[in-house]
């Protein structure tokens, strides 16, 4: 697949991009990397242990909707608190200063999955 010129310019201009991987148990890991673009390919360096990685991932594009308060806000907050027990004490979500972002996928891209 070839990148458009606009895409290539963006990648060239940006000083840092993010690479996301998932471990064997599905735990995501996101790291910043310094990239270079050459011949339509993206390059970045990593420690030697990166060669052992089995890269797989999902990228979702979609429409976002902000949910600032109400029953849906409280229901999703409860789901997030259940999944991330540290949230109530370290990143409390209150309708006075937080919103929930709902993403309805329009396109899903995967790689490395069976």
Q: What is the pLDDT of residues 56-70, one digit of tens each?
A: 677 778 889 999 999
For residues 39 and 87, state if they share a domain.
no
Q: Look at the chain and report how many structural domains it folds into.
A: 2
Residue 51 pLDDT > 60, yes or no? no
Q: Which residues contact residue 20 at a Cβ distance below 8 angstroms, ignoring those fewer than 6 apart?
A: 28, 29, 30, 57
For residues 34 and 21, state if they share a domain.
yes
For residues 70 and 109, state if they share a domain.
yes
For residues 114 and 87, state if they share a domain.
yes
Higher pLDDT, 38 or 24: 38
Which of 40, 55, 70 terminates a domain? The answer is 55
For residues 97 and 108, state if they share a domain.
yes
Q: Which residues contact residue 89 at a Cβ distance below 8 angstroms, ignoring those fewer than 6 apart?
A: none
pTM of the model: 0.59
Given this model, what pLDDT does residue 56 score?
Answer: 67
For residues 10 and 24, state if they share a domain.
yes
**Residues spanned by the domain of 15:** 1-55
């Amino acid at each position: 697949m070839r990148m458009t010129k606009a895409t290539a310019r963006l990648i060239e201009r940006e000083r840092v991009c993010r690479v996301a991987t998932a471990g064997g148990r599905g735990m995501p890991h996101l790291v910043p990397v310094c990239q270079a673009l050459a011949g339509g390919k993206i390059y970045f360096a990593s420690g030697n242990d990166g060669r052992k990685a089995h890269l797989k991932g999902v990228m979702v594009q979609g429409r976002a909707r902000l949910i600032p308060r109400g029953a849906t806000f409280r229901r999703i907050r409860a789901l997030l608190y259940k999944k991330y027990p540290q949230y109530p004490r370290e990143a409390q979500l209150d309708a006075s200063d937080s919103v929930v972002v709902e993403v309805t996928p329009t396109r899903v891209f995967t790689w490395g999955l069976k």
